[in-house]
Structures are given as structure tokens and as C-alpha cells.
A and B are shown apart, each in its own frame.
Chain A
Amino acid sequence: MKRLLAILPLLGVVVLVQLLATWTGTQFYLTQMTMAAYYSLLIIGLCVLMGYAGQISLGHAGFFAIGGYLSAALTTLNLVPHRAEWLVRFLNGCGLLAAGTDLYGGKILVVLPWAAAILAVLTAAGVAVLIGIPVLKLKGHYLAMATLGFGIIIYRLVLATSWFGQADGISGVPPFVLLPGLTVSGNVSGRVQNYYIAWGVLVFGLFLLLNLMNSRIGRALRAIHGSEEAADAMGVNISRFKLQTFVLSAVFAAIAGVLLTHFNGGIGPSEAGVMKSVRYVAIVAVGGMANLWGALVMGVLLNFLSLRGVFGSYDDAVFGLILILIMLFAPDGILSLVSRKKRQVPLPEAPQDEEA
């Protein structure tokens, strides 16, 4: 209940921002706020993996891309030429396909966004399991390198596959009707609605993760971060918990990818790029690693500024610089600079000589 109350002011801010934008006639800001919210969904998932379970991933743009690209490809691939094949007939029989006409009046048959989204998120989860089992045995730099390798593979795969549009990416992704009257799309008329959908998803995600961190599972994850050896001796199945957290964060990334792709109406290879993964890691670090609220605030703020073009063509350079500065001057996050004074605790008593 207490956690629910902590979220209420956030909801207030969300509503206030929308009202302010409407009153001042600057509703166009809401578009970037919507996109920033989806990126932040990925970032709070990564925050649980990095800050709480203590496992770094430099490949999370890969999971975002798996979600975004699969739902984009499936909802734009015209199945009319394959209508006779058993798989297409089977899918159609299950009601997973939607028929329609394209711009030129031609008949099209595509996978429904719901079905595509579920398949995309499940694929991301499956890939996370396959990658996670071998890779999570590694620690520190080695884990960072291995996940970086995964990210590069996904990036090169989408660049090399014609089904994924190669360097052009995929465009013309249809709107995603979540519920009747609730549609994820980039239509200007649906701007306010989409702002609330994105923030609803983000706040709900935050709520789930805050719950998780204050539970038996969250304690086990933080214990793994503190001392793997001792957590193991307390009965915590370390490899299973690391894997489950990895999959959870991959699912958050994939959901973000699916929704943002439908909102943007397309996706391009830069979303799968390594610099995106570095950016997400940098934002989690700025937010204070083991701090979901910090990750959320910094995720929204920095993504919003970046999307508004404040950093110009130095965008990636700025995030690289942020990462360096944070590691040097505020490894506990930017908020720790404010609270450093009062957080100073006396050092524990030095252990005396063993023979004493």
C-alpha cells in the first residue's frame, strides 16, 4: 500500500505535464514524452538487472530490437501470396491475421499486432534464456564483453536481413489497438491518448518492479549483489535467479520495443545499435544503479532532451561523456551528490588482531 501511495504523486506529475502542455499549446512535447516513457520502461528493467542483481548488460538494445523488429516485420509482411500455405491458413483460422487493402487498393493480409507483439516478446524472452544460460556464468568485464557481443550480432543481423529492411529499417507499421478505443499510433489526433498509454505502461512497470524489490525475490537479488557465495549458502539458487532477472529485463525491453515501434510507425537499425545499449547503461548509472526512481527520472529526462535534439549531433558523445563523468565523480548516481553529506556513516570498528 505504501508503494502505491509513493506512485500517486508521480501520476499527479504525469497529468500536470499533459495539462500544462495543452494549456500552453505545446502539445508537441508530449510526443517526445511518450517516446521517453517507452525508453524508460527498458531502463527500469535494466536497472533491476544491473543495480539490484549486479549483472551488467551491454546488449539490451538487442532485446528492444527483437521486440520492435519482429512486431514491425510481422505486421507489415503481406501474406496474400502465401495464402494457400497451411501455416497461413492455420493462422487465419485462429483469427490471428487481418485482411485489408494497401495504399494502392491491393489486397493485404498481415498478422494482427496483438499476435505479433506476443510472439515478439516471447522470442525476446526465449533468446534471453538461450544467451543468458552460458553468458551469466561470466562476471564483471567478461559479462559486459559477452553481452556487447550479443548486441553487435543483433545489430548486424537486422542490417543484413532484407526482411528487416536492412539499412532502411521497416516503415508503415500499423496502429496497435490495445483495447477498443485505446490505440498505440503516431497520429497527431491520438497524441494525448498515447502519452497516457505510454505513461500508464511505465508507471505500472515501475509499480511491479518496486513490489519485486521489496519482496523475498528482491532481497535474494540484492544478496547476490552483496555476496554470491553467502547468498548461495543461504539457499538462493544464484544461476536461476540471475537468469530469471535477465529474462525479466529482456521482456521489459521487448515490450518497450514493440510499443515504441507501433507509436513511431516503424523502426530502424540505429535502435539496435551498440551506442543505444551504452546509453541505457549510462542512464542506469546516472540514476544511481540500485535506484528505480533514479533510473525512471533520469531515463525520462535524458531521453527527452536527446529526442528534442538538445545534444545535437553530439548525442552519442554526450552519453559517453556522462558515463565517464558519473564513474569518476558520482559512482552512486547523480542524486548521491546531493545526499552525500548526510549519508556519511562512521567507519565500522577496525577488526582487532586475530590472536587477541
Chain B
Amino acid sequence: MALLEVEKLHRRFGGLHAVNDVSFQVEPGQIKAVIGPNGAGKTTLFNLISGALAPSSGAVRFHDQEIQGRQPHEIAARGMARTYQNIKMFAGMTALENVMVGRHIQGRAGFLASMFHAPWTWPEEKAIRDRSMALLELLEIADCAHTPATSLAFGQQRAVELARALAMEPSLLLLDEPAAGLNIYETAEVGRLITKIRGLGVTVLLVEHDMSLVMDISDEIVVLCFGQKIAEDLPPAIQQNSEVIKIYLGE
């Protein structure tokens, strides 16, 4: 049974078919990549899956339930986490606090309990802090825990963003260009972290431009071009696919 099923997904912006009749599945435990030239509809596809956008037609099934058109926070509560191409750190908060926000859905404390600092919220608060700290350690940035997140180096912010997403205990993690803006060393580092994350039992779906990263870590690759799926195969087969070579290199 697939963890995520995308079926005939379609999104129009006026006359533009940004995502056109795209179907594929993500199996549990996989690292699956979506590649394609600029403007292929990769980020739109992510926004449709995570609920930031509603599809014009088609279905998204997650854990066998239809989630298309639902609010992002509802989809998040079902175990889907995501990162962004342009890292969205919460400004004015430390790296640790950023990760602690990721544990929002695991917490129960509401307005009144928080205002009165109710004793029953203390263990919950401690668990949130401990788990967030452990994730920063896992991603090897525990030293930066108390630094304001937006003053960290770009690569470190990526790691904080990953820790924040993992704090949600997701079953599926969507990564939107995790290597964007990173140099080759940092990219290799991110690749290593992603395989480490898969090792925790988290399924990963990523959009990426960096071919070496995609070929290194993916189990399967979907190729999009002008909103349509033109290929879906294992990495070696994608490298040999004449149509894929054509759209990337020209004839």
C-alpha cells in the first residue's frame, strides 16, 4: 500500500496548466525525487500535496485518505512535514525554539493552561524541549541551539529547518530543493542528512535541481516538464532516458 498517492492531479492558473494530469505513488520508506527544468510545476505540485494550494481537479491520498483541498495544518496533523526552497525560519526565535514549534501538534497546552503555567503542562514542556534538543544533536547543530535562527549560516538554517520538520514526527517529509543555495560540500552534507533521516523510518519526497544529489540518494525519480509527467523510473534508467536528456540538454 502506497503512503502517498497522487492521482490525475491538475492545477490551472488562468490559462496555464501548472500541474497537468500528474499521477504517481510514494511507497513507505522510499526516497523519491521529482525533477524537471525551471517552471516544470515542481513547487506547485508540492503546494498541492501539502495543502498550501487546492487542486483544480484530481486527488491526493495520504495514509489512504483523501487530503486534497484540506488546510495545511490539518494535513500536518496527519503526519506530513515540509521544508521550503527559500528557508522560512521563524525570525526572533532561537534555533531551539524554531524546532520546538515543530512539536506543536504533539502538545496539548492551551491558552488558559499556558497562562496559569498549569503543573500538568510541565512534563509536556520538558519533553518538547528535550526532544527538540535531541533533534538538533541528530542534525549536528546542537551548538547553535540558543542562537537566533535567522543569524545562522545558510547551511545551518537548512539543518534547523530539517530538525523542525522532523520534530513533527512525520511519516512523510517533503523537501523543496534542500540543496538550493548550498555549495558542493554543504550539498553532500545535506544528502548525508537525508539518508540519515530515511534511516529513522521517514519517507522522503524531494524536489531538486542538483542532479548529482538526486542520482546519489533517490530510489525512484519522477520527471516533470511543463506540468506533465514525462518519465518515472529508477535513477540509472532516468539517466539513459532520451526524452529526459532532450529536455535537459536540448537536441
Contacts and interface: CB of A to CB of B under 8 A. Distances in A.
Contacts of B73: 232-238
A103 interface: no
A233 B50 contact: yes
Interface string B84-123: 1000111111000110111011010111001111000100
B69 interface: no
A162 interface: no
Contacts of A225: 90-92
B114 A351 contact: no
A346 interface: yes
B235 interface: no
Interface residues of A, number: 39
A215 B100 CA distance: 10
Contacts of A223: 90, 93, 98, 101, 104
B161 to A, nearest CB: 9
Contacts of B76: 232-235
Interface in A130-146: none
Nearest to A245: B111
Interface stretch (A80-88, A206-214, A257-265, A314-322): A206-214
Given A229-B52, A234-B164, A348-B151, A211 B92 contact: no
Contact of B72 (A216, A233, A351): A233
B233 interface: no
Contact of A231 (B71, B101, B110, B125): B101
Contacts, number: 129
A352 B114 contact: no
Contact of A219 (B82, B101, B148, B180): B101
B90 A354 contact: no
A339 interface: no
Given A215-B109, A223-B93, A232-B71, A345 B125 contact: no
Contacts of A209: 115
Interface in B67-86: 71-73, 76-77, 81-82, 84
Interface string A240-262: 00001000100000000000000
A233 B184 contact: no
Interface of B: 50, 52, 71-73, 76-77, 81-82, 84, 88-93, 97-98, 100-102, 104-105, 107, 109-111, 114-117, 121, 124-125, 128, 148, 150-155, 157, 164, 168, 180-184, 209
Interface of A: 3, 208-209, 211-212, 215-220, 222-223, 225-227, 229-238, 244, 248, 290, 345-346, 348-352, 354-356
Given A3-B117, A222-B97, A354-B209, 5 more contacts: A217-B109, A231-B101, A235-B73, A345-B151, A348-B154
Closest 8 CB pairs of A and B: A226-B90, A351-B181, A215-B114, A235-B76, A235-B105, A230-B88, A208-B115, A232-B72
